[in-house]
Amino acid sequence: MAWTWLHRFGSPPHFYRVAGKLIPWFAWPAAVLIAVGLVWGLVIAPPDALQSDAYRVIYVHVPNAWLSLMAYTVMAVAAGVGLIWRIKVGHAVAVAIAPVGAMFTAVALVTGMLWGEPTWGTWWVWDPRLVFELVLLFFFMGYSALRGAIEDPDRADRASALLAIVGVVNVPLVHYSVVIWRSVHQGSTVFRSGGPAMPASMLWPLLVAALGYTFFFGAILLLRARAEVLNRERSGSWLAQLAED
Amino acid sequence: MSSPALEIGALAAARNVVARDLLLAFRRPGDWLQPLAFFVIVTMLFPLALNSEPSVLRTIAPGALWVALLLASVLALDFLYREDGHDGTLEQFALSGQPFAVLLLAKTATHWLLTGLPLAIVGPLAAVSLGAPGGSMPGVLGSVLLGSVSLSLLGSIGAGLTLGLRRGGALLSLLLLPLLIPTLIFGARATQLAILGDSAAQPLYLLGALAILSLTLAPLAAATAVRISLE
């Protein structure tokens, strides 16, 4: 009886309705916060003493890198819910996240390269953080590739869910890579003991942008998961009823 | 459960699986000799393609060795479950009432005996042929031995997921190679330190930790993967 709420939320009609109601609550804050954060960060915040304006890529790079890890974690949890409790909506959410997570990872990598060129003097170094972030991209791609290779939809759901869960080992590797190995990539400047090593005038726009990107992730996740549920339930009777109303 | 299939214990059943797989392998040695030959050929390509200068070879030896080892291991996974999945043996395993993960672990252990162990024995010889000093052989042997345990166990998850798929081969590499990167990093580092004559203890400990972690979790994941593929 403890899990009835989960099963209720996992029923496709219920999820479809609730997700539809939630989308504006994510989409509007996302639009406002990203706009404020980016204008604040890219235009108003002071230039850095050493990197002058080159550091401003942080306002895109860091939120995308954070969200790439968050997207993978949410994908693995959703896939786990689908695999363990056999809740189909869990698989639908995981499927909806995979391309979005791959996009966050790719943006984090590309903006990192654009930042590395003026500051490190090179587009790419074989640094642990960079390598494991690239590996994260391969996990997102492997997830989609495995789904694509399996014809039976139920087996595709369950096999790719297991792969997503196994790939979670990579998430702490990305996060702690700057702690375990001394490397070119700087350590964490925001979440560290002794407070952020960044002046408030630079930190606030970063936090606002990061929060905005998080809402954006929530909105696009719900939107895509809703579409995925529609596609999976296309022969369901509740959809016919919904279309009549 | 008191089904008649449980007349023997799980360990005895696992022993039977090992004996059966070894017998099958000795009747058809091509399966497990091919990855070994592949490994030797790939390591041979490096001195031919690059430069046969001993000092150059010695620097690239750890990398060449481990890349060849990773590719040979993934190639060898092809025959871990394929035949038994095809002829229904794995389904009988799943229905036998014995713990499925233990039976599959027995299969993976046999597979390691047939591919990982020979690779671990040939690895140091390949390193010496790439200019590593003879004194580095114990260190290289240790790193390949520990690393190949993780490679086989993690590989069994990938082999389970791609069991019965038509385009399994390339997909298996795409799924597995990212997962094997930590093993590659520590293994190549241990081999490098051994060749340089330094103490390779630290990466060897980490390789051992990876092997133990794989031994505890990979059989369960592999059993789930094979079950999903059999459904």
Give me the residue spans of the domains in chain A: 24-34+56-230
Give the tens place of pLDDT for each residue, A114-151: 988 888 888 888 888 888 899 999 999 999 999 999 98
pTM of this structure: 0.88
Q: Is the ipTM of this complex over 0.90?
A: no
How far does Cα B169 stand from its chain's mean position? 16
Q: Which residues of A touch B221 (CB under 8 A)?
A: 162, 165-166
Largest distance between two CA atoms of chain B: 67
Give the DSSP H/E element, type plus range, for residue B145.
Answer: helix B137-161
Is residue A215's pLDDT more than 90?
A: yes
SS3 of A52, please? Answer: strand
In angstroms, the CA A157 to CA A29 distance is 32
* B166, B171, B221 member nearest A146 (Cβ): B171
Cβ neighbours around B182 below 10 Å, total: 20
Mutate which of A84, A147, A162 to test chain B, going by most B C-beta atoms within 10 A? Answer: A162
Is residue B9's pLDDT more than 90?
A: no
Average the pLDDT over A79-103 and give the result. Answer: 93
Query: Nearest CA to CA, how far is A181 from chain B (Å)?
Result: 12
Structure tokens at B202: 């630290």
Instruction: Characterize A117-142 residue by residue with b for buried, 16 or more Cβ atoms within 10 angstroms of its Cβ, and e for exposed.
Output: eeeeeeeeeebbbbbbbbbbbbbbbb
Output the CA–CA distances (angstroms, integers) from residue B100 to A184, B78, B103, in the order listed. Answer: 46, 20, 5
In angstroms, the CA B93 to CA B163 distance is 15
More confident residue, A4 or A182: A4
Query: With pLDDT > 70 as the criterion, what percentage of chain A qualifies?
Result: 95
Is residue B119's pLDDT more than 70?
A: yes
Give the start-to-end residue ranges of the domains of chain B: 4-230
Give the tens place of pLDDT for each residue, B80-105: 998 888 899 999 999 988 899 999 99
CA-CA-CA-CA torsion sign (B209, B151, B84, A138): positive
Residue B50, φ and ψ in degrees, nearest 5: -95, -100
Q: Is there a contact between A142 and B175 if contact means CB atoms under 8 Å apart? A: yes
Q: Residue B192: what pLDDT?
A: 92
Average the pLDDT over B152-160 and give the result. Answer: 95
Q: Residue A75: what pLDDT?
A: 96
* A131, A142, A169 member nearest B174 (Cβ): A142
Query: Nearest CA to CA, how far is A244 from chain B (Å)?
Result: 37
In angstroms, the CA B221 to CA B229 distance is 12
Q: Residue B1: what pLDDT?
A: 46
Mutate which of B154, B177, B228, B231 to test chain A, going by most A C-beta atoms within 10 A? Answer: B228
- Chain A residue with CA closest to B213: the answer is A169
Q: Is there a contact between A166 and B179 if contact means CB atoms under 8 Å apart? A: yes
Average the pLDDT over B27-38 and give the result. Answer: 89
Residue A219, φ and ψ in degrees, nearest 5: -65, -45
Residues of B with CB under 8 A from a CB of A: 157, 161-162, 165-168, 171, 174-175, 177-179, 181-182, 221, 224-225, 228-229, 231
In angstroms, the CA A160 to CA B101 distance is 19
Let me know the angle formed at the C-alpha of B155 by B113 and A163, rounded to the nearest 5 degrees: 155
Q: Residue B6: what pLDDT?
A: 59
Is residue A59's pLDDT more than 80?
A: yes
* A146, A154, A170 member nearest B175 (Cβ): A146
Output the CA–CA distances (angstroms, integers) from residue A29 to A68, A71, A86, A218, in the order listed. Answer: 20, 19, 33, 11
Is residue B179's pLDDT more than 70?
A: yes
CB A113 within 8 A of CB A124: yes
Output the CA–CA distances (angstroms, integers) from residue B75 to A83, A173, B69, B176, in the order listed. Answer: 29, 26, 10, 11
Q: Which residues of A touch B171 (CB under 8 A)?
A: 145-146, 149
